[in-house]
Amino acid sequence: MTAKTILYTAKVLTTGARDGGTSRSDDGHLDIHHSLPGSNGGGTNPEQLFAAGWSACFVGALGLAARSCKVKLPAEVAIDAEVDLCQGNDAYFLQARLNVSLPGIERDIAQRLIETAHSTCPYSKAVRGNIDVVLNLV
């Protein structure tokens, strides 16, 4: 796929790995330390970062879906993103659940917004067919 217009390029330098590495963006807005999942290493891990990025992007996609359906997205929209790091057959893989809260929106409309957002969100597109994803309206 060729990009016609690049809207933004994130530039992050990562040194080290999950157990003590760092990641810093070129603009200085991101400056984090890595730690192993479940440890008290004082940092974060790639699964948390992925869950944060995906859920933030998904909220934006929900906003676009709501506008196209002429529905007002509630200010209290929330996504509890869960990204699992799994191991099986001698390989690591991810699976995820996006638990979406759209208070005040009728269930069938909320479900349509979630499905539309999942079809347009760049993160959802990136993982489609690569990881198991469950979308829950909560």
Within the chain, all domains assigned CATH 2.20.25.10 are found at: 1-44
Tell me the CATH class for 46-137: alpha beta
Token pair in block for residue 98: 């996006």
For the entire predicted model, the pTM comes to 0.92
Within the chain, all domains assigned CATH 3.30.300.20 are found at: 46-137
Helix (H) / strand (E) containing 46: helix 46-68
CB-based contact 121:58 (threshold 8 Å): yes
Of the candidate CATH numbers 3.40.50.360, 2.20.25.10, 3.30.70.140, 3.40.50.300, the domain formed by 1-44 belongs to: 2.20.25.10
pLDDT digits (tens, 9 = 90+) for 20-33: 999 999 999 999 99
pLDDT digits (tens, 9 = 90+) for 40-88: 878 999 999 999 999 999 999 999 999 999 999 999 999 999 999 999 9
Helix (H) / strand (E) containing 116: helix 107-120
Token pair in block for residue 56: 């933030």
CB-based contact 17:24 (threshold 8 Å): no
Q: Report the 10 Å Cβ neighbour count for 133.
A: 18
HSE (side-chain half, CA atoms, 13 Å) at 52: 6
pLDDT digits (tens, 9 = 90+) for 80-105: 999 999 999 999 999 999 999 999 99
Determine the 3-state secondary structure of 95 from DSSP: strand
